[in-house]
Chain A
Amino acid sequence: MGAVLLLLVVSAVTFAIFFLVPRLGGQTADQLATQYVGKDANPASVAAIKQNLGLDQPVYVQYWEFIKGLVVGADYKFGPDATHCSAPCFGYSFKSHIEVWPQLQQRIPVSFSLAVGAAVIWLITGVTTGVISALRKGKPIDRFAMFIALAGVSLPIFFTGQILLALFVYEIPIWESIDYVPFTDNPAEWAWHLMLPWISLAFLFSALYARLTRAGMLETMSEDYIRTARAKGLKETTVVAKHGLRSALTPIVTIFGMDFGTLVGTAVLTETVFSLQGIGAYSVQAIKDNDLPIVMGVTLVAAFFIVFCNLIVDLVYAAIDPRVRYS
């Protein structure tokens, strides 16, 4: 229930920003509509578009229509016959007059695949590096790992991405091209073709997670219960993996949930560098085009993922830490 309310607030805020901010700058419905007509913006076309997109209505009516479309669907007429857009109807693109939801459906898997693969890589490499670093604190391997991590955190994705592209697609063409092949078509191709984007994205996050894990491990390994575990005669590997890591991972899980949920809708740079058609890149185009329904759609989908991932985090958290289970 809270989640639904949150999404409603997000949608209302997005809507308000779209209409109010340009209006503060003197944007009228006509000027708005002019942007959705092509190069030849004659007054007749502008008026026709304005009316057909409902831009002549008060903003709250437009918002109400949008929400209504989401819940019960809506009818539109961008051709000889009216067509029904069934719920959840995110409306039609102001620019291309194409239904938004099917477009989102095609692009969500791209962004999701990008995030999933990168997440797997960064969790494995980041956590492993962090643990090793923590256990070898101050040793050369720790210093080296933390140096790489610092580089990873500092280097922007469009830099690492371009370098990887230049190296492995053009200099030594290990990859013919970077593409999205649907997982359902061919899982191996799916993974292979997304490998470079995953690596560049994972590099950034691994670095972050290595540092987080290291800090968490250092803290945990000095806990009394770790001493207890050792006093019981447990093997050091058991002490680290079972007693240390589990506690050290708890905050990681929370941050991971946030990061992953956010990443699905916002991997704009990665999508742009690697020319992947995810919702991040889609939203950038939509913002450029002032295409409200797409902006709304992407915002809601992105918000949904964030809310959803946080829900999952809460569940996982309860599974990990019995202290929060009953509260």
Chain B
Amino acid sequence: MSKLDKAALGEPDTTAPSVPDDVFLSVRDLRIHFDTDDGLVKSVDGVSFDVRKGKTLGIVGESGSGKSVTSLGVMGLHRSARAKVSGEVWLDGQELIAADPDDVRRLRGRKMAMIFQDPLSAMHPYYSVGHQIVEAYRVHHDVSKKVARQRAIEMLDRVGIPEPGKRVDGYPHEFSGGMRQRAMIAMSLVNNPELLIADEPTTALDVTVQAQILDLIRDLQKEFGSAVIMITHDLGVVAEMADDLLVMYGGRCVERGPAEDVFSEPRHPYTWGLLGSMPRLDREETDRLIPIKGAPPSLINLPSGCAFHPRCPYADIPKDNVTRTVRPELTEVGGSHWAACHMTQEQRERIWTEEIAPKL
């Protein structure tokens, strides 16, 4: 299990860092702000991370935490008039934020692809599944429709759709949820992308199908050696898949590190909350600890200091009201393991081992 590169995860405003050779995607201080009638929405506000080839990064957070926006930012899908994007996104040695939009478009779907949640709405209802896969293939490959269709059938077969030669002409509404997600994956992988971003790929599916889809993504990753970003609000999904983990809250990263470390020694109260709400087969729902109280913060008016403080049961532990006035920076809490909390290492270690862990 490899670790996230420490140097890359340093200060948010690190200038001109050297990107290690094995890092396929490197995001530096990514900020995505939206100018709306109500005010400036800071959906992503200074997020940095690296993903290596063949590895999986899990991005976890509640809805509105900025995880999906981050992935769309990487894909270059926020170039609208209202979105202000800054920072750097290095994909295979090429910076994308400042690049010509058309160059980024050419990379989309080929070098980096995305699997969206809810494929019923993410696939065009008026075009057949095959047509949509063919279209995705032919944007990047100058081949005849016939060849592309053959490729589409091949991909449908690969993702486990029975009778792909027949189903290729079917429409999204004629597919079951699981089949639709498989077709979506087939469409994303049709160009052998080196980076695959899966945004809640299993949310709409029942548990059995969820497992199948996750297995499929894992298998395909192995086969193609792609880098994968798995976006979810459910730690359970990434528990088995992710090599590294990034926990987002209020548009910022609150904790990140090797998945193993984050699971075994989480060092942020929000991560504790997420772990507490993780479904476990061996316990009753009522026994859950540390449910995260309150609602996710407004991205227009983030709480001062630590954005999590209104919901944090330990907000009063640090002295001088510092949680309400000073924003905590990411600090290293272990090997490649970073967290942003005002509590001291000891306080957190104590709370985790004494109060949280026993109840999980």
Contact = CB atoms under 8 A, between A and B. Distances in A.
Are A and B in contact, CB atoms below 8 Å, in the complex? yes
A323 B135 contact: no
A320 B124 CA distance: 12
A234 B135 contact: yes
A323 B173 contact: yes
A97 interface: no
A84 B140 CA distance: 70
The 4 closest A-B pairs by CB, nearest first: A233-B109, A233-B108, A224-B121, A232-B109
B136 A247 contact: no
A224 B125 CA distance: 11
B77 A227 contact: yes
B195 interface: no
B136 A323 contact: no
Contact of B124 (A229, A230, A231, A233): A229
A86 B183 CA distance: 61
A247 B121 CA distance: 13
Interface stretch (B22-30, B111-119, B297-305): B111-119
B137 to A, nearest CB: 9
Contacts, number: 68
Interface in B118-147: 118, 121-126, 128, 135-136, 139-140
A167 B135 CA distance: 50
B75 A225 contact: no
Given A228-B124, A231-B109, A322-B126, 13 more contacts: A224-B121, A225-B121, A225-B123, A231-B113, A231-B116, A232-B108, A232-B136, A232-B139, A233-B109, A233-B140, A235-B139, A322-B171, A323-B171
Contacts of A214: none
A246 interface: yes
Most buried by B among A224, A243, A246: A224
B214 interface: no
A223 interface: yes
A240 to B, nearest CB: 13
Interface string B64-81: 000000001001010000
A197 B122 CA distance: 44
Contact of A228 (B106, B122, B173): B122
Interface in A212-254: 223-225, 227-236, 243, 246-247
A228 B201 CA distance: 14
Contact of A224 (B113, B118, B140, B171): B118
B110 interface: yes
B107 interface: yes
Given A246-B126, A322-B171, A323-B171, A230 B108 contact: yes
Contact of B107 (A233, A320, A321): A233
B126 A232 contact: no
Interface string A139-171: 000000000000000000000000000000000
B139 A234 contact: yes
Interface string B84-124: 00000000000000000000011111100110101001111
A7 B113 CA distance: 55
A228 B123 contact: yes
Contacts of A235: 105, 139
Contacts of A233: 105-110, 136, 139-140
B187 interface: yes
A231 B139 contact: no
Nearest to A235: B105
Contacts of B77: 227, 230-231
A227 B114 CA distance: 10
A231 B135 contact: no
B139 A224 contact: no
19 contacts: A223-B121, A224-B121, A225-B123, A227-B77, A227-B116, A227-B122, A232-B109, A232-B135, A232-B136, A232-B187, A233-B108, A233-B109, A233-B136, A243-B124, A247-B125, A247-B126, A322-B125, A322-B128, A323-B125
A126 to B, nearest CB: 21
Nearest to B109: A233
Most buried by B among A225, A233, A234, A323: A233
Nearest to A250: B126
Contacts of B106: 233
Contacts of B173: 322-323
Nearest to B114: A231
Contacts of A247: 124-126
Nearest to A139: B81
A217 to B, nearest CB: 14
Nearest to A243: B124
Nearest to B102: A235
A132 B122 CA distance: 24
A61 B260 CA distance: 92
Contacts of A229: 124
B136 to A, nearest CB: 4
Most buried by B among A225, A231, A323: A231
A227 B168 CA distance: 22
A212 to B, nearest CB: 19
A223 B126 CA distance: 13
Interface in B179-219: 187
A320 B116 CA distance: 25
A231 B121 contact: no
A247 B123 CA distance: 12
A321 B126 CA distance: 5
A225 B109 contact: no
Contact of B126 (A227, A230, A234, A320): A320
B252 to A, nearest CB: 24
Contacts of B75: 231
B124 to A, nearest CB: 4
Nearest to A247: B126
Contacts of B108: 230-233
A229 B132 CA distance: 9
Interface string A311-327: 00000000011110000
